[in-house]
Structure 1
Amino acid sequence: MAVASLAGVRRGPRWKKLVALAAAVTVVLVPVPAAAKPKPTVKQLKKELAALQKESDKLITDYYDSRIALQKVEKTENAARARLRDAQEVFDREAVNLRLMGVTQYMTGEPNLLNMFGGPGAPEAMLSRVAIARQMIDLQNARIAGFAQVRDEFKKAQEELAAREEDLRDTVADLDKRKDKAVKLIDRMRDKIEQLYDVPGARRDGTFVPQLPAGEDNITPRMRLVKQLVQERFEVPFGIGCYRSIRDGGEHPLGRACDFMLSRAGAMPSAKEIARGYKISEWVVKNAKRLGIMYVIYRQRIWHVRTGSWRTMTDRGGTTANHYDHPHISVY
């Protein structure tokens, strides 16, 4: 009887209401995806910048004080080095004199005063010879004592220099730590400042509206912003090449690409410039979604925003063609 009643409910309007209610409850229980974090407002960014500026001023002051301390330690270390150099000269000279005295004594034998001063003679002559011999012995003793003093001063100068060099190493290490901390904070400030720039043609969903090239440089506003930010952050001493009229299937003729040169005339860049190229590439990749970057090419490797990873490219047969002398940046 109970089973029959349940079957009736399933076929009746009450069952339909229960099904509808369960469906509604199910919909409510489904978790809603978290909304994307909104872009900070200009007011928020400026507030964060003010706090960072305060912290930066303190770090820069500490760095300045550390540099002054380093200069003082270097001055003390240089003075200690000069004293050691002077002591070394005196030490070497006295060592030579002492060796000469030893050689003379060895060649003439133990002081035989009668032989040294012409053999036996009148008592007056003997007394004279003894007096001269005593003077020589006293001179010898004084020279030995002087040498010991010089030796001790030399050792003291060595110890002082070692202590000053240790102080110098510690101060340099402390200065490097302070500098690294200040540089990292400055980079954070630079990131905040760059966020104040509105990327031209960016949509809320992260897509980018196509743009036409404009201006005398024939590049898009989006490419121009990326070029400006890279140049301000990293400097590019060998120039930046963007628009090219040659239709090679790339982004240059469309005003959507720039080459940030690291050398001239196709020469292989220095180690310093190669490192600069890596820093530019890493920063651009890090900010790709914000700036509308499509892909980056550097040192025969390409990074595309679709894959989010680097892959090796085929050999195009040259330093410039393989992008060993510049990072290439293309935007949407």
Structure 2
Amino acid sequence: METPTSTLRRAAVALVAVATAGPLASGAVPSSAAEPSAAALAADPGDSGKFGRLNAQIERLDKAYGGDLAKLKDARYAAKKALDESKVLQSDLNEARDLVAQMAASQYMTGGQDPAVSIITSGNPSDSLSNVSLVSHLAQNKAAKVAQIQTLVSKQDKARQEAQQKITELQKEIKELLAQKSRIRSLVKKYKPESPSVGMGGVTPRMLKVKNTIDMEEGPFPTIGCVRSTGDPQDHGTGHACDFMVTTGGQMASGSAQSLGDRTAAYAIAHASALGIKYIIWRQRIYDLRSPGWRSMENRGGVTANHYDHVHISVF
């Protein structure tokens, strides 16, 4: 036989279930209109995690595609705004449900067998907020939040749908960018920043072509120096050579700077025939296309003199 104490305990449990149930509850509020679907009201069916992954992908695309992807970031902004609004509405909805449960429990404990509790204990707790009698009874006790529940659920449903739509649009934007990967990378390569250059007056057309090609493919470089007459100019004096600097101030190249020099030298060797390259000097070694292979050079006494801070390229 059930005692008043056990009835109260069961009612309290039912009220807590109703109050704390997320939007997965099948019937949240009374309404003459069709109720929102459970999927639409799911607490967060992976939306935040999905958005986080898409956001990380955007940052990677930024780097790969040459800087700020304004159109894509606008779609990201819209998705985040919709998600944030959905979360705020969810918090308001939870607060309203909590108040409903607290008031119903309080009225029962102070006034005996309450009609609201009779409804809760006699049926499925998930259906309780759909019962017009319960909501009408609580509304009479000036529970302002009760009157707001239907509005909140409708807004939450709309916000969730909008958030999911914005995330879908964001996924579409990313998919379109990935589908155009080759074209975009060509544009990035074509219009990426050019290296500052000195001594371009009097450079030969072939050397100019080599300079522009390597700058596009491997640059930008801190600077590229070509024609000069001081020191031991050799091919620089006739406009047949350029120095592709990978550091400044006579600093020994290491890390990413050395990697840049390695890539530049390798590219020059691989495309020497097509570009008319005669020889390459890098890190106290020379690669002469007339007698292929790297050969060590004599120590000339300094980082720059030994080509540890730049790649020298000469053309025929």
Q: Give the alignment's TM-score, normalised by structure 2.
A: 0.48
Larger radius of gyration: 1
Q: Give the alignment's TM-score, normalised by structure 1.
A: 0.46
> Looking at both structures, which has the greater relative contact order when contacts are Cα pairs under 8 Å and sequence separation is at least 6?
2
